[in-house]
Each structure stands twice: as C-alpha cells, then as structure tokens.
C-alpha cells in the first residue's frame, strides 16, 4: 500500500517535466535557507559552547572543575533534580491514571490546568512563591517564628523547579494510557492481581517509553531552569547557586572560562537529551510535540 | 457497598468523596504546588488599592518594558512563523543529506538550558563575535541591544511552529496539490489556495505558543540584553528588579499583567485549535 502511494508522483513526473526542474531549483533554495537560518540561530551557537570551553585546553576546564563554587553548584543542581523528578513522576503517573479512563465534566479543563505552568512565565512562578513564603509573604511570619527557611533556600528552589516542570510526565503518559485501554488491566484484576501488581506488571510496561520520554524532558528542564530559580534562590555563592545561576554570575564577572565550562556540562546534558529523545521517537513511535 | 455500583459519569463531588489514590495525589500536588502559588498572587493583587495598581501598571518604565517584551516577542513569533513553515515543509517534503540531524536539532531550544543559550548567543552576536563581527561594520549591534532580545526570543520560540505544522503537513495529501497542478494552477496559486489554508490553524497556534514562551522568557534574554530601562529591559527582568528592592506591590502588578496576557494567549490558542478542528478536523 505504501508502495503504490510512493509511485504516484513518479508516474506523474513526465507530464510535469518543466515544473519538476523548477521544483528542484526551488527545493535546493529552500534547503539552503533552512541550513542558513538554523546555522545562525542554532548550529553556530551550539558549536561555540564547545569551542569556547576548550579554548584554554584541558587545564582551563580542570581549573573550573576543581573550583569549590562550581562543584557546589553542580551538587545543588543534582540534589534539586533528584528531588523534583521523582516527585513529578509520582504526580504525573497519578494524574494520568486518574484522567485516562474516566469521562467526567471538566476533564479537559483539568488537563488544561495541568498544562498551565508551561504558559506562566517562570519569573512569575518564582514571584508567586516569594509572595507565599518570602519574609513579607502570606506565610512569612509563621515560617519565621518556627525558624523555617523556604525562600533563599533549598525548599524554595525545589518548589520553583516543581512548578515549571509539573506537566512534562503527565502529558506524555496520558495519551499512552488512553491508547493502551483498560482491557488488560481489567483482565489482570479478574485473575486476582492486586492494584499494585496490576500497575507494575500491566500498566507500567505499556507506558514505559512514554514515561521515559517525559522523564528525560523533565530532567533537562529541571537541571536547566533559570528564571523561576533566580527569583527564589537569592543566588548565594556556594549555597543556593545552581549551575545556570553560576553561568550568569561567571559571565557578569568576565570569567568566561568558568561560564563556558559550566555551559559545556549543561550542553552535554542537552545533547544526551536530544539523542535519547530521537531514539525514543524512532523506536517507540512517540510523536514530538511543542511545549 | 453502594460504591460498587458502576456509574458512567459520577458527579464532581462524588468523585472527590470516593476519590482513589491517584486522584488524591493529583489534587494534593496541584493544590500545594500550583493552586496555592496562583492564589497567593491573586490575593496580593486584590489587596492593593486600584489607584495604586493603575499607577504601577502604567508607570513609564513598566510601559516601556511591555513595549519591548510584547513587540519583540511578536516579531520573533512572526519571523519563526515564516521560517518554521519553510523548515517544516523542507523536512516533510524533501530528501537531502543531513535531514534527520536537522529534524533532531530543531528541539535544541527545548533541551538546552536558557542560561547556556544566552551565554553563547551573546558571545557570537557581540561586536567581536563570529556573527556580530560581520554586522558591526554595517553599524548593527546585537548583543546588549533590543536586537539581542529579538535573537534570544527567536532562539527559544523556534521549535513551536515547526512542530505544530509538521504533523498537519504530513497528513495533507499530495493529491489535492497534484490536482491543482494538472488543472494548470501556478505553483504560487497552488501554495496560496491549496496548501496554505489547511496549514493556517497550525501556523497560528505555533506562533501564539512561541509568542507566549518568548514573553515569559528570562534566562537567555537577561544574559544577552543590557537590561536598560526604555531600551532593552523586558518585563520578567523588571519583576526581579522590583523584588530585589523589596517592592512586592510593584512585582505583583507587573507579574499579574504578564499572567493575564499568558492566559489570554492560551485562550486564543484554544480558539484557533477549536476552529481548526471544525474546518479541517
């Protein structure tokens, strides 16, 4: 079937010979435009990260890699991600399971609500948390009295990161669950499986690729989030400075080598993310979507 | 147990009362991490005096930042509307070496942290950078100007139009085009009358999504821009500056303006998609 539909344009080609050569000409013009545009916006900037990072050779890289503040920033970024991603995974799975096989009034509204963080500026998200937990915020006096620090501390950074990455897993898993349907789960339940067994043995295997897809996107965003974290972190060097904040600070202080070493690490993360994403799209046929 | 009765569409209250574990986790998480923060902003905004809100929202510095933010984001969205259409077209219709690589790298702005994007764009587009160096003799400065804001916004909103148009173009059958061709339509007529109309909802959706993302963007813009009021200061940076001065009211009002615009754009996207489904679904 696919074969015959491929042959159709070929069969029509001789009639449109003049048009076809015009097509060829136009084709290469458009391809050249695309390469040029993407070179200016994506390729040259991406390449530049690697070139700048290796400009001073390995000693330059090692210098930054052994600096205390850099290592602290790496550590904080890893900690924040290690808390955020599992929490969002539990939420994403729960939300998708809750939404998948039910039709109730307001279902599409709820799906829009879960997607809402993608539409809100990360800076506004950070502002909301400051208004809640900052020392002049709604819960400020209460937190102060109990000696709890959320803003300018780890909990605030985690909450800001949770806010901006909340939709990633739910929106990937939900369509996969809808497609898988409930028949197998019902069969497992009839055969005496507990809900927990059904989840691990039946539900999870059917959505694993979509879950992984959501996970890597969530992970990349969690490690790279800047705007929301910038508002709540206070940017205390060595304490509440994540890698993106470290890059900004190094850049402002003209410490180009340090900035690009940190950028190299995050660009490496981006490359891994894109490769895994590409493989998942090929192997598991997951559709990419804008977000 | 009465709860074992199968009910096809339970009421909202019933579903909350008989909520399963996934439901409880979902609502708890949404309440803690989404509803509570949004409520904090709304409550703060309504406790302000309306005259005060108006004064802050229409302050000349604030107006200038809306102008820079929305106007630049709109231009970035339109540029990516055209470029995204061409990229999607080339990726769907043509075969050429490097096509898969190009397709994969389109998503780079989603994967690359914005701080890295801002850093490398500001280096390249600075007056002694690889691309900025070419533009300097013509008197064009990019980094630390409004043009820099535009470049950063183009970068972060690039994938949206490509990714919304691609699937529609894939589903579009070549037969209608071939029919138009064989009946003697020029390539131009074929494009305007046959190809473009069904793609329009997808293009507009992508432009709106890119615009929305660009309006809220902070990381890449703050690094490439000079952040000078009346020149290249954007609204999200102004919010942070207000917070640094402990001016919660100022930050809240400008944040609310941004939030309202985001919600309006979201509504527009939903309307476009609903219309698109009705006509071309």
Query: Residues A143, A144, A146, A152: is their CA dihedral positive or negative?
Result: positive
pLDDT of A20 reads 58
CB contact under 8 A, B94 and A113: no
pLDDT at B193: 86
Q: What 3-state DSSP class applies to B113?
A: coil
> Could you tell me if A290 and B206 are in contact, meaning their C-beta atoms sit under 8 angstroms apart?
yes
Q: Is A108 on the interface with B (CB under 8 A)?
A: no
Amino acid A57: pLDDT = 84
Taking the C-alpha atoms of residue A44 and residue A50, their distance in angstroms, rounded to an integer, is: 10
- Of the CA atoms within 13 Å of residue A1, those in its CB half-sphere come to 0
Predicted pLDDT at A189 = 85
d(CA A201, CA A240): 41
Nearest C-alpha neighbor of B104 from the set A95, A275, A60 = A275
Q: In the structure, what pLDDT confidence band is assigned to residue A17 with cuts at 50, 70 and 90?
A: very low
Model confidence at A108: pLDDT above 90: no
pLDDT of residue B6: 44
* 3-class state of residue B22 by DSSP: helix
Residue A152 has pLDDT above 90, yes or no: yes
User: Which of B37, B113, B206 is the closest to A290 by Cβ?
Assistant: B206
C-alpha B108/C-alpha A291 separation (Å) is 13
Give the closest residue to B203 by CA, choosing from B156, B263, B163, B256: B163
Copy the structure tokens of residue B42.
Answer: 């709304």
pTM for the model stands at 0.89
**A11: pLDDT strictly greater than 60:** no
The H-assigned helical ranges of A146-182 are 154-165, 167-180
pLDDT score of A124? 97
| Residue A243, pLDDT above cutoff 90 | yes
- pLDDT band for A194, please (50, 70, 90 cuts): confident
pLDDT of residue B15: 52
Spans of chain B, pLDDT less than 50: 1-9, 281
The shortest C-alpha distance from A239 to chain B (Å) reads: 18
Which residue from A226, A272, A218 is spatially nearest to B115, judged by alpha carbons?
A226
Place of tokens 């998948």: A100
**Confidence at residue B3, expressed as pLDDT on a 0 to 100 scale:** 43
Q: A with B: how many residue pairs have Cβ under 8 Å apart? A: 278
Give the ipTM of the model, two decimals please: 0.89
Give the helix/strand (H/E) hosting A9: helix A2-12
Give the one of B178, B243, B270 whose C-beta lies nearest to A127's C-beta: B243
pLDDT tens-digit map of A205-215: 989 999 999 99
Tell the residue number behind the tokens 């819960």, with chain if given: A139
Measured between alpha carbons, how far is A72 from A232 in angstroms, rounded to an integer?
18
pLDDT of amino acid A186: 85
Kindly state the tokens that stand for A255: 């410490």
With cut-offs at 50, 70 and 90, classify the pLDDT of residue A282.
Answer: confident
**Any CB–CB contact under 8 A between A112 and chain B?**
yes
How far is the alpha carbon of A258 from chain B, nearest alpha carbon, in Å? 12
What pLDDT sits at residue B279?
63
Q: Would you state the pLDDT for residue B182?
A: 83
Three-state DSSP at B127 gives coil
The angle subtended at Cα B233 by Cα B232 and Cα B237, nearest 5°, is 145
Nearest residue of B to residue A170, measured between CA atoms: B26
A29 vs A248, B153, B220, CA distance in Å?
A: 39, 26, 31
At B39 the pLDDT is 96
Q: Is the pLDDT reported for residue A289 higher than 60?
A: no
Q: What is the mean pLDDT of chain A?
A: 88
The C-alpha angle with vertex B9 and arms to B3 and B12, in degrees rounded to 5, equals: 80
Weakest-pLDDT range from A21-25, A44-48, A235-239, B31-35: A21-25
């Amino acid at each position: 079937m696919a074969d015959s539909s491929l042959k159709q344009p070929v069969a029509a080609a001789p009639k449109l010979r003049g048009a076809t050569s015009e097509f060829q000409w136009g084709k290469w013009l458009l391809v050249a435009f695309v390469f040029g545009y993407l070179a200016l916006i994506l390729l040259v900037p991406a390449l530049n990260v690697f070139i700048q990072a290796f400009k001073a050779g390995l000693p330059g890289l090692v210098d930054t890699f052994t600096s205390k503040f850099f290592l602290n920033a790496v550590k904080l970024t890893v900690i924040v991600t290690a808390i955020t991603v599992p929490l969002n995974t539990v939420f994403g799975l729960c939300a998708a399971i809750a939404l998948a096989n039910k039709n109730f009034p307001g279902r599409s509204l709820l799906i829009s609500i879960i997607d809402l963080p993608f539409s809100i500026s990360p800076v506004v998200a950070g502002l909301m948390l400051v208004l809640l937990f900052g020392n002049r915020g709604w819960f400020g006096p209460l937190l102060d009295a109990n000696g709890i620090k959320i803003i300018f501390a780890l909990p605030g950074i985690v909450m800001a990161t949770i806010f901006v990455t909340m939709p990633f897993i739910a929106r990937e898993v939900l369509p996969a669950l809808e497609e898988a349907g409930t028949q197998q789960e019902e069969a497992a339940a009839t055969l005496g499986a507990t809900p927990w067994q059904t989840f691990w043995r039946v539900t999870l295997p059917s959505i694993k690729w979509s879950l992984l897809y959501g996970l890597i996107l969530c992970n990349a965003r969690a490690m790279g989030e800047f705007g929301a974290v910038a508002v709540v972190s206070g940017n205390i060097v060595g304490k509440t400075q994540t890698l993106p904040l470290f890059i900004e600070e190094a850049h402002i202080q003209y410490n180009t080598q340090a900035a690009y070493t940190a950028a190299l690490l995050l660009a490496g993360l981006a490359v891994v993310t894109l490769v895994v994403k590409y493989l998942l799209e090929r192997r598991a046929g997951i559709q990419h979507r804008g977000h | 147990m009465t709860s074992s009765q199968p009910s096809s569409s339970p009421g909202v209250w019933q579903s909350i009362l008989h909520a399963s574990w996934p439901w409880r986790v979902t609502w708890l998480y949404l309440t803690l991490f989404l509803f509570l923060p949004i409520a904090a902003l709304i409550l703060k905004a309504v406790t302000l005096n309306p005259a005060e809100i108006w004064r802050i929202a229409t302050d000349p510095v604030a107006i200038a930042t809306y102008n820079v933010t929305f106007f630049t984001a709109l231009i970035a969205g339109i540029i990516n509307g055209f470029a995204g259409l061409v990229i999607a077209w080339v990726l769907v219709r043509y075969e050429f070496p490097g096509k898969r690589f190009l397709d994969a790298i389109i998503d780079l702005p989603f994967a690359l942290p914005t701080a890295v994007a801002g850093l490398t764009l500001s280096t390249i587009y600075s007056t002694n950078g690889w691309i900025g160096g070419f533009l300097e003799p013509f008197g064009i400065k990019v980094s630390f100007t409004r043009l820099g804001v535009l470049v950063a916004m183009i970068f972060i909103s690039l994938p949206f139009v490509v990714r919304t148009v691609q699937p529609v173009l894939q589903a579009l059958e070549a037969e209608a085009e071939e029919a138009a061709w064989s009946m003697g339509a020029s390539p131009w007529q074929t494009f305007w009358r046959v190809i473009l109309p069904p793609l329009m909802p997808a293009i507009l959706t992508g432009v709106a999504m890119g615009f929305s993302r660009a309006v809220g963007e902070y990381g890449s813009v703050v690094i490439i821009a000079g952040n000078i009021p009346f020149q290249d200061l954007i609204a999200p940076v102004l919010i942070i500056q207000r917070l640094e001065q402990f001016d919660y009211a100022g930050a809240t009002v400008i944040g609310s303006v941004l939030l309202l615009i985001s919600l309006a754009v979201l509504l527009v996207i939903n309307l476009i998609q609903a219309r698109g489904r009705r006509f071309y679904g």
